[in-house]
Structure 1
Amino acid sequence: MAELPELIILAGQMDKELSSKEFQQGELRQEKSLNLTADEFIQKIKGKKVIKVYNKGKWIFIQLSDDYHLLLNLGMGADILYHEPGADLPEEYQCLFQFTDGSSFSCKFWWIGRAELLQDEELPQHKATKDIAISPLDAEFTTEHFRELCGARSQIKNLILNQKKIGGIGNVYIHDILFRAKIHPKKVANTLETCKVDKLHDMIQENLKNAIEIGGLAYEKDFYGQNNGFDRDYFLVAYKEGEPCPKCGGTIEKIKTGSTSSYICPHCQEL
C-alpha cells in the first residue's frame, strides 16, 4: 500500500508528464469507483487541461482548468501508469484517461480505489479529504507543532497514523520510525519526554526522506511502471519477526496494537 514517499514520487512524475495536457476521452469500467456516472464523468472532464498534480495525504490531486480537480485514491494499492502515444495499453484497468496528444494514463485499483471529479468549490466539503492534516514533510510540521500534537492522551502509534493529525503515514514506515526513536508503539503520547518527542519528529522526517531518495517501496510501481528500490533489506525491524535486532541483538517481535500489528524490539522499545 502506497504511503507518503510513494505518493510524493508519483505526484511529481505525473506533474512532469501531464502538465498542460488536455483530456480528450476516456474509458471508465467500474462506476462504483467513481463519484459520477461514467458518461457524466467523461463529458465533464473532456476539454479540461491539467494545471498541476500534487498529493494531499494519501490522495493524488490533479488540478484542472475551469476550476475542477480530479482526485485519485489508491486504496489498498494501485497501478497508476503513463502511456506514451501509440504504446500498448494494459488489459486490466478501471480507468483510462486519454489526452489530445495521444498519450494517456490508466488506473488499476487493487482494492477500494477511487477516482472523483469535483468542482473546486466542492473541495472544502469533500468528506474524504477535507480533514487531512499537513504532511510531516511540510515546512509547517515543526518540532513545536509536533509537540502540540503529542499533548494528546492517545497511544503514539495511533496518533501518528491518524490522518487528521499527520497526513500520509501508514502501517509500513511507522515500525522503523518508532524503533529508531526507541519508543514503544503503545506509549501514550503525553507521557513522552520532550527530548523523545523531538527525536521522534526527526526520525519521522529522516525515514520518509530516505525512502523518497531510494525511490519508494520496491513492490509499488511508479508512473512509468518501474518498481523502486526500498525493499525488505532496508527495513530495520519492520516485517522481521524472529530476527535479531540490529542494535542490541535481541529478538524482534510482532505484537498487536489495536487494529494493526507492530514490529518492535522489546529491549530497545520498552513500554
Structure 2
Amino acid sequence: MPELPEVETVVRSLRPAIVGRRIVNAEFGTSRVMRGMPPDTSDILRGQQILAVERYGKFIAIRLSAGCLVVHLGMTGKLLLDSETTKWTHAVLTLDQGSVLYDDPRQFGRIEYGPDIPARVAGLGPEPLEVTVADFGNRLKERRSPIKAVLLNQAVVRGVGNIYADEALFRAGVRPKKLAASLKKDAVARLHAAMQEVLREAIDSRGSSVSNYVDADGQKGSFQNAHRVYQRTGEPCVTCGTAICKIIVAQRSTHYCPTCQR
C-alpha cells in the first residue's frame, strides 16, 4: 500500500500538471472504487477548475472551484498523467490540457466527491513530519498496544504504514512488540526522530517501489534500495550482522533485528 512518502510523491508530480486546469469531461466506472459517488458527479465536475492538490496522510485531496475529490490509492491504485486507459481504469478526468486517470487492479482504493474533505479524513491524527516530540509522547503513553500497531493507527499519526513503521523502529532500536505506553522518554525521542528521518529520506527518494507503485509520471521510487529491515527476512542486519526476523504484529508482516532492537 502506498504510504506517506509515495502519496506525497504522487501529489508533487500531479500538482504542476493539473493545478489551474479545467475539467472538460469526467468519466467514472461502476466498480467499488466509486462506492458512494453521486450519480451526477460527472455533470457536477464538468467545467470546474482544479485549485490545489494536497495530501492528508495517505489521502489525496483535489480541491476544485466547487467541492473536492478525495482519493485513497488502496493497495494498487495509481493516478497517472496523460496515460492510456486499461481494463483497470476506473476514472478519467479530461482537462483543458492533458488528462489524469485512476487505475486500480485490486480495487481497494476509493474516489469520492463532496463539498470538502470528509470529517473522517480531516479528523485523523497529526502529520508525522509536523507532530512535536511532546505531542507524540503523549499519544503513545495512552496506548497499551504494541508500538508497531500504534504507529499504524492513523488516529495517532497519519500516513505511516508497514514499511516506514518497521524502518523507524529499527533506527530507533525499539522492538515492534514493545508496548507503546512502556516506552521511556529517551526511546520516544529516538523513535520520533527516526520516524521523521526515514520519512524525509523516503520522500527525497520518491518513495519505495516494492510492488507496482509509480508516481503520476509512471516513474518508480528508489527508497526500497535503502530498506534496512523491511522485506529482508533472513538477511544480515546492516548494523550487527544478525539475521533479520519476521513476525506478525497487528495482522501485518513485521521485520526487525533481534539484537539491535530492544
TM range (shorter): over 0.9
Q: Using the alignment, how far apart are the partners of 1:45 and 1:11 within structure 2?
A: 20
Q: 2:151 & 2:37 partners in 1: Cα distance?
A: 33
Structure 1 residue 157 displacement after superposition: 0.9
2:37 aligned residue: 36
Residues 121-132 of structure 1: pairs in structure 2 closer than 5 A: 123=117, 125=119, 127=120, 129-132=121-124
Deviation at 1:30, TM superposition (A): 2.6
| Aligned residue in 1 for 2:152 | 161
Aligned residue runs from structure 1 range 209-248, under 5 A: 209-218=200-209, 219=211, 220-231=213-224, 233-248=225-240
Q: Amino acid of the residue matched to residue 68 of structure 2?
A: H
Distance (whole Å) between structure 2 residues aligned to residue 244 and residue 32 of structure 1: 42
State the secondary structure of the residue aligned to 1:173.
Answer: helix
Scaled by the length of structure 1, the TM-score of the pair is 0.90
> Does residue 151 in structure 1 map to residue 146 in structure 2?
no
C-alpha separation in 2, matches of 1:116 and 1:59: 11
* Residues 22, 95 of structure 2: 8 Å contact kept: yes
Change (3 A) 1:31 1:77: closer
CA root-mean-square deviation: 1.5
Establish whether residue 116 from structure 1 lines up as the match of residue 112 from structure 2. Answer: yes
Amino acid at match of 2:60: I
Q: Deviations over 1:110-130 (max 9, x none)?
A: 32111111012xx454x4x24
Q: Which residue of 2 aligns with 1:74?
A: 73
- Whichever residue aligns with residue 205 of structure 2, its letter is I
Contact 2:86 2:103 (8 Å CA) reproduced: no
2:91 & 2:148 partners in 1: Cα distance? 34
Pair 1:52–1:245, CA change in 2 (3 A): same
- Runs of 4+ off more than 3 Å: none
Question: Which region of structure 1 is more displaced relative to structure 2, 111-120 or 42-51?
Answer: 111-120
When the two structures are aligned, how many residues end up with a matched partner?
Answer: 256
Aligned to 2:258: 266
Q: Which amino acid aligns with 1:187?
A: K
The amino acid of 2:218's aligned partner reads G
User: Identity of aligned pairs, percent?
Assistant: 30
TM-score computed with the length of structure 2 as normaliser = 0.93
Q: Are the equivalent residues in 2 in contact too, given 1:69–1:119 (CA < 8 A)?
A: yes
**What do residues 64-114 of structure 1 show as CA deviations (whole Å, max 9, x unaligned)?**
102x0011110112121001xxxx62333111110123x111100132111
How far apart in 2 are the matches of 1:252 and 1:229? 21
Partner amino acid, structure 1, of 2:235: E
- Note if contact 1:75-1:110 (Cα within 8 Å) is conserved in structure 2: no
Q: CA deviation at 1:31?
A: 4.3
Gaps in structure 1 of 5+ consecutive residues: none
Measure, in 2, the Cα distance between the counterparts of 1:186 and 1:91.
42
User: C-alpha separation between the residues in 1 aligned to 2:45 and 2:20?
Assistant: 14
User: Which residue matches 2:65?
Assistant: 65
Report how far residue 154 of structure 1 moved. 2.0
* Alignment equivalent of 1:137, drawn from 129, 135, 150: 129
Give ranges in structure 2 of 5+ residues lacking alignment.
Answer: none
Quote the residue 1:106 is aligned against. 101
Whether the 8 Å CA contact 1:97–1:105 is kept in 2: the answer is yes
Amino acid across the alignment from 1:252: I
TM-superposed deviation, 1:62: 0.6
2-structure distance, mates of 1:204, 1:130: 22
> 3-state DSSP class of the match of 1:261?
strand
SS at match of 1:96: strand
SS at match of 1:132: coil
Give yes or no for the alignment of 1:90 onto 2:91.
no
Letter in 2 for 1:246: V
